[in-house]
Structure formats: C-alpha cells, structure tokens
Structure 1
Amino acid sequence: MILEPDILQSYRETFEAHLAENKIDEAVISAQNISAGRVAQVLTNRDYNVIIPFLEKADQKQAGQILAHFSPEMSVEVLEQMDPKIGSTLLDDIPIDHAADIMQLMDQDEASELFSMINPNLEAMIRDLMRYESGTVGAVMNSHFTAVKKGASIADTMLAIKDAPVQIENKNYVFVVNKKGTPEGVISMKDLIRTNPKKLVDEIMTQNVVAVYTDDDALESAQLLRNRRFQMLPVLNEEDRIAGVLLLDDAIEILSENMADMFMHIGAASADESFYTPPLGSVKKRLPWMAGNVFLNLGAVAVIASFEATIEAIAALAIFLPMITDMGGNVGIQALSVSIRSIALGEVRLSEYWRAAKKEIVVGLINGLALGALFAVIAYIVQANMILGLVAGAALGINVLVAGIVGGTLPFLIKRWGGDPAMMTGPVLTTITDITGVTIYLGLSTYFLMSLVGG
C-alpha cells in the first residue's frame, strides 16, 4: 500500500485529536500508523501527564524508538517520572549511544535504580560509553556491529548476519577481523549475496579499512564519514580492536548539532544552554557576552561622536545611519553563515580564505553597486538632495563590500588561529560593519559638507 502525504497527515491529525481528548488507548492504536520520529515530535508539545501514560501503554519497541527521538534532557525527565520497571525496559530499544547520553545526565540515584533493573551486558556497554570524554567519537559510537573472523566462509557470514542481535542498526556491511580483533577488510551485503557461499571472505573483502579511534574528535570523525560517503566507520580502541562503529545517522546528528551550536554562537549565545537550563544559568551564560558587546559598540559611538559637528550642521544625515549600518550587518551575516556552514561540514580547507576573499570581493562589488545605486535614488527622493543621495549610496555600497569580505573570511582566520569562529565572529562582525559604515558615511558627508549645505 502506498501512503500518500494527505493520508499520513490524516493519521497524524487523528493521533493528535486522541491526545487532545486524553484518549490514551486510542492514541496508542493510531500511533502505529505514524513513524516514531513524528510521534515524538507531537508528544514533545504535550504535558508529561500525557506523555508518560502514552509511553507506558505503547508497544515497548515503539516506545523506546520514540524516547530515542526526544532530546537527552527531555528523555531524562520522562524516565525520572515513569515507572522504573517500564523505563528500564525502554533502554533495550534505544540506540546504545543515546542511552549513554541519557544516563550521564540522570540523577545518580535514579540512574543506579535503572541500571539495577536492566540486563548486565547492556549496563556494561552503556557504562563503557559513559567513560569516554564528551566530544570524542567513543562517546557517540554504537557498540553493536557485525564482524567475522578472517577465513570464514560466505555461508557462515550470512548465517552470522541472520543471527545477529536486533540492536545492530546497519547490517549492510560486515567487518573482517584477525585474531586480535583488528579489522583487515569490509564486505557489503550486496557482494555477499552475489558470491558463491563456499568462498572465503578473504577473497572478496575490501582491504585498507578507514577507521578512527575512540579518543578521536567526534566532529572530525563525522566529517570524515560524510566526505568519504561511507555508511559507517569502525572505531578502534587503544589495542586496535573494533570497539564500535560511527553510523551515518549519528554523524549527521553531530554535524547538525555543530552547525546549530555555531549559529547560536553568532548571536553570542552558549551552545551549553538549552530549554532546560535554569533561568539563572541562562543569565550567567548570556550576560557576560552582552556586557562585552556594549564595550565593542563603544567604537561606533566614538566614531559618531567625532562627527558631531557634521551631524549638527546637517541633521538629515542621521536619517540614513541605521539603514547603512543595518545593511552592512545583514550582508556580513549572509557571508558569515556560508563560511561557517562550509567549515562545519568540512567542505573547505582553512587555507582557502583567499579564495573566500576573492569570491566575496566579486559578490560585494556587484551587490554594493546595485544596493548603493538603489539607496542613492531613495535618499535623493526622500531629501531632494543629489549630493546627499550620492554620499549615502556610496557609503552603503562600500559598507556592503567590506561586510561581505569580513564575514566571508574572518571565520577562516579565527579558526586557523585556534579560536571559535562563530563565537568570536558575530560580535566582531557587527562592530566592524557599524564602525566602517558610520566612518565612510560621515567622512564623505564631512568632505562634501559645503555641497550638502548648499543642497
């Protein structure tokens, strides 16, 4: 049966209606027609007095998958309010790396209670992931994977895949390991199916396996996986044995979170802050950056103050100041966003800032001429002063050019110097565009002061 978008939408609407009427049993039934991700999306907007009963009555496997789609912080709150016996069963159906994230955030007593109720092997795997430092690939790897010994037959390998635990999320690839557990090759399911069952895996495996280590940076490992277009990467421990795998889904999540964190930094927000951060905690994270921004903006204030006589002579100049500074900021943020995205996804090398500069010069010249001309016409119409229109248009055009170059190249330079490009570039960029815009505009106005006064 083909499920068309309108049919899927009707299923979701039915599910939401049952939840709104607090008909939990009916909601559980209707949720069977919806993906776990979509159910989680709907439940996220509901109170816990609806979420908890729903998960407790839902099929265990589906409930676990839904819980895995919640944020770790929300999952912690759900498990702490849920019957511990039911909550412990859900951990069986959560990806092992997600379970480790959840248990790491949970109150120690609550976590100990849940650990006491789950399978000892599962507890050992979760605790094993929890020992890795946050930000390393070991902390996000999945401990479930398929591997066979070198010298195994194709038939034995197919049997191993058939009997593999359900927790293995990707069975499309099998690693071939030596006696020490070190990977020496990898085989795809496609190749296994096409090969004579009597042959050995050694004959068809792809050698030179690309791997990472548990202590390697998770973001760099995710970028490697994406750039190589693999579905998974083996993660090795200090003994060169496979400890787990980095899956494509997890790599995408890491890259997405990194991009989200970087764009939060642009606004001088902290990546450590979330919806669940207490109000005083949010104040501590935000206030220092805002206070620092006050001192950065004093540069623009000082520039305006130095042109006080010009502004007093021609009060109309103040009308266009916000437009010129705001336009520079907007253009700079556009260029900044493109550069930070490229850096976050590992699409470019840090040494390519000259290439970024050349591109932004071309873009800035074209956009600056177009926007400057447009603004010159608008300024002339508003004030009926040709010189003022030309000055305002020229100032805006030059500021657009400068903002594009700064926004496009500064992230590369800051990253190369070892800093956080998003955290440092946002406040710096806005200050630079404000100062350059004001300086160019009021500087040109001062130069042409007599012509402006004369109209």
Structure 2
Amino acid sequence: MADTRTDPGNVNEAEDRLNRALEERDGAALAEVLEPLALSDALRELTNLPPEDRSLALSLLPAARAAEIVEEAPNELAASLVVGLESGTAAGIIDELGSNIRADVIGGLDDTEAEAILARLTPADAANVRRLSSYEGHVAGGLMAAEAFTFQESDKVGDVLRRFVSDSEDFERYRGQHPYVVNSSGVPVGVVSLRRLLTTRRGASLTEIMTAPLTVPANTPLEELQDIFNEHPFLGLPIVEEGGVLAGVVSRSAVDEALLSRAETENLRRQGVFGDELRTMPLKLRARRRLQWLSANIVLNVIAASVIAAYEETLAAVIAIAVFLPMVSDMSGCSGNQAVAVSMRELSLGLARPADVWRIWKKEAAVGVINGIVLGILIGLVAWGWKGNPFLGLVIGGALALNTFVAVSIGGIVPLVLKRAGQDPGDYPEFCALAW
C-alpha cells in the first residue's frame, strides 16, 4: 500500500516517546507517535522493540493502523508480528487486510494459531483465506484478491454509479478493477469500461456496453501472467476456478511485486541467504539458516583442497597450512556475502538506515561468533584428522573463526557506510563483496 505520509523530522526522537507510551500502556500516545511516520519508519520502530513490546504495541494501536504496518512488512516478518497476539486482537488486524494479504500472513502461522484466528473471522472471510492459501504463491490463485467488483446481467449503468458513491469507503479494495458482469452461476460474461459507464445513459443495461472478458485459470503460472500484462494494458485480470466461476482478480501490481520478490529471493540464494531473513528474527534461527549453506560449502572446499594436496609431496612441509588458505578465504567470503545481502535488503525495505550501524554490527557480530566457532571447529577437526597435528587444526580453525567474525562484521555495515556517504550500495556490488 502506498503511503503518502512523511517523516515529521527526527524519527529517533520517537523512540523515547514510544517506550513511554508502552510503559504506560497508552494507546492514544502510541498512535500519536506512530501515526505521522511513514509506514516503513513505523515498521522499523516496531521491529526494533523486543517481541513482547512489539505485540503490546500492535494490540494498543487502532486495528486499521496496525494492519497498515503489518501489510508493509515482508510475509515472514508480517506473520511474526501477529504471533503472540491474542487471537481476537490478531483477527481484528487481519480483518483490515486485503484477502490476498490475509492468506499470506495466516499461511505463515502454525496450524493452531491460524485456526484460532480464522475462528474469529466471518465464515466467508475464513473460507476465502483457506481457498487462497491452497494455491502456490507464484500462480494466479496465490496472487489474486478474492474481492471482485461484480454486477449481474440485469443491472443498469445507474446501479454501478450508485455503488461507486454508496460504497466509497470500501471502494479501495477494488483498486485496478473494472466492473465485471457475471451470470447467475457466477461465471464472468463481460467487463465494462469506466469510460463507457460515464458516457452512457443510466438506464442502459450493462449487457449493452460490456465486452467479453479475458479470464485466466487459477493455476496459471507467474510467467504467463507477466506475458499477458505485457501484451495488454490491463490493470487486473479476472481469475476463474473449475467451471469458469469467478474466484477473484489478480492485479498488475501484484504480478510485478511477485516478479520482484522472486528475483530478490534468487539473488539472496546465490549469496547463501535462504528464507526471508531479517535481523529482527531470532538469533538461533538466523545462525542455523546460514550454517546450512556454509556447512555444505565446507565439503566443497575440502574437495578443492584435496586436489591441491595431491601434490603435497613435491612441496615444502609448510604447504600443509597453504592447503587450507583457499578454504578460509572462501568461507569467510561467503559469510560476508550473506551479511551484505541482508543489509542491502533491509535498506531497500526501509528497516535499516545508516544511523543503525552500531545496532547492525552487534547483531552481525553475534551471528559471526556463533558461526565462526562452529565452522572453525569443523575445519579444525578436518585439519587435525588429515595431518594428525592438533596444532595445525587449532591454527586453521582459529583462522576461519576469526575471519568469519570479521567478514560478517564488515559485510553487514559496508552497505550502510556507502549509504551514509550518499552512494547506492547496489552500484558497488564488487566493493561490498570484497570489503573483507
């Protein structure tokens, strides 16, 4: 959702007021702090709070404002914001979201929490969430909104215009949609141009001015949706399920966001970051996700080192250390890549700013210590077992542990330093990757 509000000044000044409002459990004061902020800044303020304070803040805010902040967050973070809320409070917030966002958020919860929230929604809304959640994320059904701006074949032009006025408060949910005409079975039979509506007499039937709609099956993959939107100037496409019944509408913006998200995910994976990682997530979860890739990378590096070691007899004895140097360099480089990728992502989402260097360094240092120790022990044991020399294992393991700590420390803050210098970190990927 686009947010036109601006930052009223120094956002950091809001932190003290925010903490006071939470201590006093003053919802009005809390709303006064967060309401003027841009959504990205409000989200940043909340994610910097401990989980219990975060839940308290969301429960004190008006449901509509809390929903705007949740909608601003990536899916996994949005789900974590809802976790811990009383089911009635969570349902009130989720009820303010669009149906597609509801499905994404509830899909990120465990079954018990999800069912507790669904039980608080209306049967129709709960059914829509379950239906949308049944689709994969990158097909039309997983991207569509269940809300559709529909009319019957018997309706007149005046009926549509009156609904524009009477439903003005709820009309926002139909952004990017033309009025769709459906028959008694719910099958779309026409779409009406807004221009024709305004230039046609009010007593005219919609069937007189409608044109045949281009419908898309719910299992249509993202690539095909992209091709359709590239070929046609549509803002939205009606999605049909079995029997041709209208199931919802997928917007051009939803497809564009899905394409951008997929590209971002692929880029993060190339750098060894799996999942929707943000530094607000639990330390153990972040360390475990990174270790999954880094541990596998050790195996590949051992294979590479074995090729070098095949010529060991022709080299001096000191080559035993040199064999492991590429491994130490490569592993620390991979760790630094992960830190750079997360920093650049948080910058793009507005969840980190150059002023957060110290906070981000502390969070990265914690991951660096854990992963450095684990990886150092692993490679140290390999070196010891290979050469039968515990001192060699100690040196190699210590070198990797130290390099990992330094790499994530520097990699996490380099994008912020570049941003502070007025540069776009995305314009210097080589510098960020080689900073350590």
Smaller-chain TM-score range? 0.5 to 0.7
Cα distance in structure 2, aligned partners of 1:38 and 1:192: 40
The partner residue of 1:63 within 39, 62, 66 is 66
Which amino acid is the alignment partner of residue 19 of structure 1? L
Unaligned runs of 5+ in 2: 315-325, 331-436
Matched with 1:75 is 78
Structure 1 residues 8-17 or 252-261, which shifts more? 8-17
Q: Does 1:122 align with 2:129?
A: no
Matched with 1:18 is 17
- The structure-2 alpha-carbon separation of the partners of 1:182 and 1:118, relative to structure 1 and needing over 3 Å to count, comes to closer
Q: Does 1:181 align with 2:180?
A: no
Deviation at 1:227, TM superposition (A): 5.8
The partner residue of 1:262 within 252, 266, 283 is 266
Tell which structure's C-alpha radius of gyration is larger: 1
Cα distance in structure 1, aligned partners of 2:275 and 2:50: 26
Specify the SS of the correspondent of 1:185.
strand
The partner residue of 1:195 within 191, 194, 200 is 200
* Contact preservation (8 Å) 1:146, 1:174: yes
Which amino acid is the alignment partner of residue 184 of structure 1? V
Deviation at 1:170, TM superposition (A): 1.4
For these two proteins, the number of residue pairs brought into alignment is 311
Matched with 2:175 is 170
Cα distance in structure 2, aligned partners of 1:254 and 1:158: 33
- The structure-2 alpha-carbon separation of the partners of 1:271 and 1:224, relative to structure 1 and needing over 3 Å to count, comes to farther
- TM-score, length basis structure 2: 0.60
Q: Does 1:107 align with 2:110?
A: yes
- The structure-2 alpha-carbon separation of the partners of 1:42 and 1:223, relative to structure 1 and needing over 3 Å to count, comes to farther
Q: Does 1:286 align with 2:286?
A: no
Displaced runs of 4 or more, over 6 A = none
* Contact preservation (8 Å) 1:268, 1:289: no
Deviation at 1:244, TM superposition (A): 0.7
Matched with 2:149 is 146
Q: Map of 1:13-412 to 2, 5 A cutoff?
A: 15-22=14-21, 25-164=28-167, 165=170, 168-170=173-175, 172-209=177-214, 211-222=215-226, 224-225=228-229, 228-271=232-275, 275=281, 278-279=285-286, 281-283=288-290, 285-287=292-294, 290-291=297-298, 293-294=300-301
Specify the SS of the correspondent of 2:301.
helix
Unaligned runs of 5+ in 1: 310-321, 327-455
Deviation at 1:294, TM superposition (A): 2.7
Which amino acid is the alignment partner of residue 18 of structure 1? R
Which amino acid is the alignment partner of residue 142 of structure 1? A
Cα distance in structure 2, aligned partners of 1:192 and 1:43: 45
Cα distance in structure 2, aligned partners of 1:226 and 1:9: 39
Specify the SS of the correspondent of 1:184.
strand
Report Cα offsets for 1:122-166 as digits up to 9, x if no partner.
Answer: 111111112223432212211011011234211012234445555
Deviation at 1:4, TM superposition (A): 10
Report Cα offsets for 1:86-138 as digits up to 9, x if no partner.
Answer: 11111110121221122222122222222222222211111111222343221
- The structure-2 alpha-carbon separation of the partners of 1:169 and 1:42, relative to structure 1 and needing over 3 Å to count, comes to farther
Cα distance in structure 1, aligned partners of 2:277 and 2:39: 26
Alpha-carbon RMSD: 4.0
Report Cα offsets for 1:380-416 as digits up to 9, x if no partner.
Answer: xxxxxxxxxxxxxxxxxxxxxxxxxxxxxxxxxxxxx
Cα distance in structure 2, aligned partners of 1:189 and 1:14: 46
Cα distance in structure 1, aligned partners of 2:223 and 2:17: 41
- TM-score, length basis structure 1: 0.57
Quote the sequence identity (%). Answer: 18
Cα distance in structure 2, aligned partners of 1:296 and 1:247: 48
Cα distance in structure 2, aligned partners of 1:222 and 1:185: 22
Report Cα offsets for 1:216-247 as digits up to 9, x if no partner.
Answer: 22354255435644321211102112101112
Cα distance in structure 2, aligned partners of 1:141 and 1:4: 25
* Contact preservation (8 Å) 1:144, 1:167: no
